[in-house]
Amino acid sequence: MRGKNTLVICESCGRKVPRNKAVTFEKAISFSTDMKNANDVRFFERRKVYYCISCAKHRGIFEKKKRMAMRKDNKLV
């Protein structure tokens, strides 16, 4: 449907961007208690974050995804 895209907030600059124009990036976050014994607790989480096009280009995320897609297409041939 036209004009009904939900707005997401850019992780870097806080700009509101339509979801279909935003660049999605999966970010890995790890938490740990940093204890050097058996009671050390570690937790890994993958979180989907959104960036506007300008921030994604500045951080190099946009170009990496483009290169990965081109590489994937070349392997299929």
pTM of the model: 0.66
Phi first, then psi: give them for residue 74, nearest 5 degrees.
-70, -30
pLDDT tens for residues 7-21? 999 999 999 999 999
Q: Which residues are CB-contacts of 20 (< 8 A; sequence separation ≥ 6)?
A: 5
Q: Give a yes or no: residue 2 inside a domain.
A: no
pLDDT tens for residues 20-73? 999 998 888 888 777 777 777 788 899 999 999 999 988 888 776 777 777 777
Q: Give a yes or no: residue 64 inside a domain.
A: yes
Specify the number of domains making up the chain: 1
Q: Give a yes or no: residue 1 inside a domain.
A: no
Q: Give a yes or no: residue 12 inside a domain.
A: yes
Q: Give a yes or no: residue 58 inside a domain.
A: yes
Structural domain range at position 19: 7-34+42-76
Distance CA 45, CA 32 (A): 12
Q: Give a yes or no: residue 17 inside a domain.
A: yes
Q: Give a yes or no: residue 13 inside a domain.
A: yes
